[in-house]
Structure 1
């Protein structure tokens, strides 16, 4: 199949050219954290010299780490990271600081299981099956829904799903770039949405947990804490993608001049689900149902409920169930991937499963290096006392301004959007922002779950409007298969209507969620009782 036109040069002018040039000056996120640690050490020395402190009324009888409690008043005082105690702690506790970082164990656990599901071909087969034999008029909404669900497939969502959507549009006689745009918008621009929680929920909430414990040491993350919110994004964004693709993007592209020739038909056939894969999907589906039933039984069988805290009341009774979801997702991905691979021929022995798990850990090597420095940044942030001081004083200032909760959350959303133009990693940004905004908003009565939801919304829609997004060059390569003349500016122009629409919908949805005080997930609300009252 031929592609019309010649490749155009990259546009360097205008705002997008400025963003690209500035973004290219930024180093790797790991290097950024090294700089942040250095800046934090200097700031802590300045704060200790100036005598920075903050106090709040505290109902507990035991002070959190790095704080003093006297007559019901909790006081944080800035501590220089150059002090003997902090330097000693830095070097003697370095392995402990790294190993005890909450996101590390959570993410590695999930990734070992997800690697089996991905490497065995389970995720890719599910995507291909979902798109096969679909009416051309219903391709767009189906692409939108599958795109947002496919986040669980990690790289497969970009490498398999997006080019496959373009192929399906071409075979159906529609413009393939419209299919590519719809898929890219769903996978990347709708990154905050999904039908069920997954790896990204665990990853971001693990950072939220570390930040929330600055104020409430007993706060424990719930991977389902944003479930209703992220599901509502799918409901809201799907018709938006449908309308924009069919009524704005495809008419603008014009009639596609290509044909579904033999090469294209052969590629579609290669992307079809084989008989062995279909058998594997049936086996994996049955096993998934059994696992769900078994997991539920541990919470409902009379006289044997290891996943229920019988001594607690209310939603606290379900805390063991929420905490066990990490293990459940690990077992679900591992077992369904293995049984699928056995039927499909990609898993021939237990050794293959072990190799896939090891591959999952190997792919996490860059993350491990990043986490080493992120863990120390978060720990040193706590040692210095600067995080609680900023949170308490910031909360007092915001409280004095009497800004409504929607305005506060939209500010976090917009800050996340701006940073996303330059730093693609959602976890990297949240690991820096969460120690400040989560405690601050908790003191103002906004739950950690709602703050996380606002951040996720802002982090998503800008993915498709920046050349700095890590998969942007790959999407550009996919687009040039159908039109060699398409350049960076052309792809950005193609995606901009989606980004602006998602931005408007995201802000409106966040405001409405807070205004109506809707539940965010099982046991998670927008508002919480203010943790303390400020005092001096």
Structure 2
């Protein structure tokens, strides 16, 4: 007589088949750099095919019928070759990422970030261990991907040291680092201005004068961080860890890293680094206070009802990336000299060089993204898709909340196959931002919806670059752990994030709570 298949085993079988399908489809996709090259070629061919077609849709900027430019024409191809370098150098997110990483690279390689994380987690009461870990994981976003290699393995270490299941610690940290990647705990990350530059470029397809504030989602992402911490706390303690109780820890724990207390040199370095950071913050705050502060926007650039420090034209807003650079470079250097990890200025330069060496792959991707966006925007295809798409959605007559929900779901699906937040938004922004503007939705709200969808499924896809590394972290404690193990652990987080984070955005929109600085919910076509 055939034994009935336990429900949990049956669910694992369905989940495994689904993951196998996702992995097969994802493995057939080309590398992101090659993907954008192929998309650029597709835009060229499509522009050639549509260049002779007369469209009734009107360009909202000029009022004239939309005309598609043939990118395969001789003058277009020669312009492409002549402008290739300037297009690449003018790709705004490239400078944003590289400048921010110069400062963050020093803070990481001198040991400042590592020491700060270890100190913060070592003084946390056991009953608050989970929310503190998730909070630190969310805060690690200021260092871009540093959380993957620093916070997530430390999550396993501190949970194991506290007598709890180490994979639960890894899962909680993974939830904060990746599941809440678009959340920011008060401190803006380099992701904020990077996404804003894509959003602004896409919005300017329809409105060349529109400027997006780099902190346009800051209030929403800060409140979101509190939601991420609450989700991580509840799901870890009430759902994930009880289910992991049956999973035996059989790794060679004698060889595992330990949550070692800071040495005397590290404590001195951390103290003086934080002092330097605090002094810099106070001096910066004092420089903002005078009415004549050069950080303020000129009076004629400040709309009625706005603060001269908070408008996009304010030098302080245009200096967000530079401030991230300085506020991590300074404590990183001070920590290095006091703790002894830096001997001369050459060590600081070497740290910057090492951080730039790790950005080589991003630079390659950025080159192809820049060329694709230049062709896509210059061809007129983005304007055509936005106008026709908006007309289609208007004809459907869907409530706006359903349109926002659809954007979140679509982003979450794309997220299963393209792990890079900047690569996805580079692909989606030129289509979605102008389309939503035609429906009266501001670029700020569209970007916020993207950020929700971008985070909620990252923790489930084996195609995310750091996913295999996290499986290795799990195998340090449980030898049999694999992709299925990690995915099954992270599914409750993904479900909770998908539902509650979407509801939070809809609540912001429904009650008119500001999304960020200089942000709006509606766009009125000129």
What stretches of structure 2 of length at least 5 have no aligned partner?
1-12
Counterpart in the other structure of 2:41: 38
Which deviations, in whole Å up to 9, do the C-alpha atoms of 1:197-249 show, x marking residues without a partner?
11111221121121111122222332211111111111112222211111111
Q: Establish whether residue 531 from structure 1 lines up as the match of residue 522 from structure 2.
A: no
The 1:174/1:77 distance shift into structure 2, 3 A limit, reads same
Counterpart in the other structure of 2:353: 358
Q: Establish whether residue 99 from structure 1 lines up as the match of residue 89 from structure 2.
A: yes
Return the alpha-carbon distance in structure 2 between the equivalents of residues 266 and 248 of structure 1. 27
Would the aligned equivalents of 2:141 and 2:177 in 1 still touch at CA under 8 Å? yes
Counterpart in the other structure of 2:274: 285
Please, what is the CA RMSD of the aligned residues? 2.3
Return the alpha-carbon distance in structure 2 between the equivalents of residues 231 and 267 of structure 1. 32
The 1:13/1:505 distance shift into structure 2, 3 A limit, reads closer
The 1:202/1:266 distance shift into structure 2, 3 A limit, reads closer
Q: Establish whether residue 241 from structure 1 lines up as the match of residue 238 from structure 2.
A: no
CA displacement at 1:520 relative to structure 2:
0.7
Counterpart in the other structure of 1:118: 108
Secondary structure in 1 aligned to 2:66? strand
Counterpart in the other structure of 2:209: 218
CA displacement at 1:75 relative to structure 2:
4.4
CA displacement at 1:262 relative to structure 2:
8.7
Normalised to the residue count of structure 1, the TM-score between the two structures is: 0.90
Counterpart in the other structure of 1:65: none
Would the aligned equivalents of 2:23 and 2:463 in 1 still touch at CA under 8 Å? yes
CA displacement at 1:135 relative to structure 2:
2.4
Which of 165, 169, 172 in structure 2 is aligned with 1:175?
Answer: 165
Counterpart in the other structure of 2:479: 484
- Greater shift, 295-304 or 515-524, is seen at 295-304
- Greater shift, 476-485 or 300-309, is seen at 300-309
Which deviations, in whole Å up to 9, do the C-alpha atoms of 1:461-510 show, x marking residues without a partner?
21111111111111111111111122221211111111111111122122
- Greater shift, 302-311 or 478-487, is seen at 302-311
Return the alpha-carbon distance in structure 2 between the equivalents of residues 11 and 471 of structure 1. 24
Would the aligned equivalents of 2:460 and 2:491 in 1 still touch at CA under 8 Å? yes
The 1:245/1:354 distance shift into structure 2, 3 A limit, reads same
Would the aligned equivalents of 1:197 and 1:223 in 2 still touch at CA under 8 Å? no
Secondary structure in 1 aligned to 2:259? helix
Counterpart in the other structure of 1:63: none
Counterpart in the other structure of 1:4: none
Return the alpha-carbon distance in structure 2 between the equivalents of residues 105 and 133 of structure 1. 37
Which deviations, in whole Å up to 9, do the C-alpha atoms of 1:139-193 show, x marking residues without a partner?
1111111111112233431222112111211121111111111111111111121
Which of 295, 300, 316 in structure 1 is aligned with 2:289?
Answer: 300
1:115-514 alignment runs, 5 A limit: 115-195=105-185, 196-254=187-245, 263=254, 267-269=258-260, 272-314=261-303, 315=306, 317=308, 318-319=311-312, 320=314, 321-514=316-509
- Greater shift, 427-436 or 400-409, is seen at 400-409
Return the alpha-carbon distance in structure 1 between the equivalents of residues 251 and 377 of structure 2. 60
Secondary structure in 1 aligned to 2:58? strand
What stretches of structure 1 of length at least 5 have no aligned partner?
1-9, 59-68
The 1:155/1:304 distance shift into structure 2, 3 A limit, reads closer
